[in-house]
Structure 1
Amino acid sequence: MELDKSHISVLLSEAVDGLDVKADGCYIDCTFGRGGHSTVILSRLSEQGRLFAIDRDPTAIAAAKKFADDARFHIDHQGFAHLQSIADKHNISGKVDGILLDLGVSSPQLDEAERGFSFMKDGPLDMRMDTSRGQTAAEWLAQADVEDISWVLKTFGEEKHAWRIANAIVDTREETPLLRTSQLAELIKKTAPQREIKKHPATRSFQAIRMYINSELEQIEKALAASLDVLAEQGRLVVISFHSLEDRLVKQFMKKHSQAKKVPRGLPISDEELNKGKKLQLIGKKQKPSKAEVEENVRSRSSVLRVAQRLPRPVE
């Protein structure tokens, strides 16, 4: 099986190595994309191994047809927030040896103007991961009030000029509907002072609107919570994040579930009792892409990989 050259999977070998793939194991690739990680996982599985993939992008589901004849592979058209229900449907909850979450937007999504993710190419202001359902960015911007738009830009984009941009959006739409990415990008460029030479002034706003439209942080929170029940004992959770909001969620989740209970000093509690609440063990330190990878794929530069392992469940 060949990798899809149109999309370069970030931290490919590091992520699959982090899963510690067993030949006859059961794995879930929560973000199939164009199948880069799935291809390598399948190459390490025997005929008894199983790989379940998830993606809410219809074009990713179409790309998965290349594995249609592989009995070890199955894909569900859903967001990874549905991880628990998908595992239940396939009767694999508590039996999964590894879960991979690659939280980035795929290169085909960014490069295809019709998807509306990029301010670099003119296209419809869509931004939906799943184009078969939900509200587009244009539809939301047409009816959201100044407070809501400002809150989204500040919360998900950490945009300093959120209020100014939000007011400009509301004022502009009264005269002309915002329907194209180029319209929004130009509006933000005129509205927000350009102090970061390396970044386009619309970068943070586009990120924020995309994250809101797709409920990205909520999706991550639900998938992380479900992983604790879906993973088998010693199963690995591997997550690749691309910006601070995502990585903060992942870091805090792994830290919370890898620490012992907090109890007052001096209480006569055994180590066994103290460690009962621990559900995860951190594996290694966070990993960043190599200099060579960043040179080959500049979109990998902000990525961070973290790995944790499911600890044995306490015997009732």
Structure 2
Amino acid sequence: MTANTYAERSKLSRIVRRIPVWIVITVLLIVVVYPLFWLLTGSLKTQSEFLNNPTWALPEDWFNFDNYIEAWTVGNLGTYFRNSILAVFPSLFFTIVLGVAAGFALEVMVWKGRGTVLLLFLAGIMIPGQMILLPLFTIYFRAGLTNSLWPLIITYTVMGLPLTVFMMATYFRSVPREIFEASTLDGASIYRTFISIGFPMVRNAIFTVALVQFFFIWNDLLIALTFTTRDDLRTIQVGLLNFTGQFGQIQYGPTFAAISINVVATLLLYLFLNQRVMKGMTAGAVKG
């Protein structure tokens, strides 16, 4: 057997071994990408195209953005989008600031009872959110907060804290203790150590936790549906329910356009933070 023949057979063998991998990747792409493609193309169709053409048919006009305009204005999607932003980002701010500080205190600082406090936070993860909705609604109603976004901000912050504290404590555990000890020996206070040393070293982890909490809050329907009693306070997930008309009639084009705006906005955010999220997901798994 010549060298060329052996090289060709070796190359052919590698190609054959890769065929199952390619098949699996192709199937996954179809399963993941096709629904998104179907959603985006459906947002460009008219109502008559949905009713008269097959579901897999492509739109007749690829530059018909009337559905997006109708969803944003007539469907009041702009208001729902604004409410989601006003509910998400304050909740994220409070959750991240309090969660990072608590994680630092529970893992880096040495004090009596910190293990018990961490277990209490872990217990909070195990409590189903549905169990506390009625008591919270009663409290918000008596406090006069039901006609605002504050019930959403408070609830999202409280429900996001247990997981955030647990994850941040795990990430701080991966940071070498010698770094914090050296900072203390140099005369830095505990607050200075947290702001100048601890916070920057878990920066990528913070992005990961923030993204996890963002998707939880942004895609929430139950909490927002429970605590928003006025249409001008509803978030985008609750607002999508309004695209179902009387007797169950649905305007498919504007509905698909509204869902597309929701999906694309979150997808672009993930693509923008993808590298930081990947680094953050592996940070807590390695002891530095």
TM over 0.5: no
Q: Which has the greater radius of gyration?
A: 2
**TM-score, normalised with respect to structure 1:** 0.27
**Higher strand content, 1 or 2:** 1
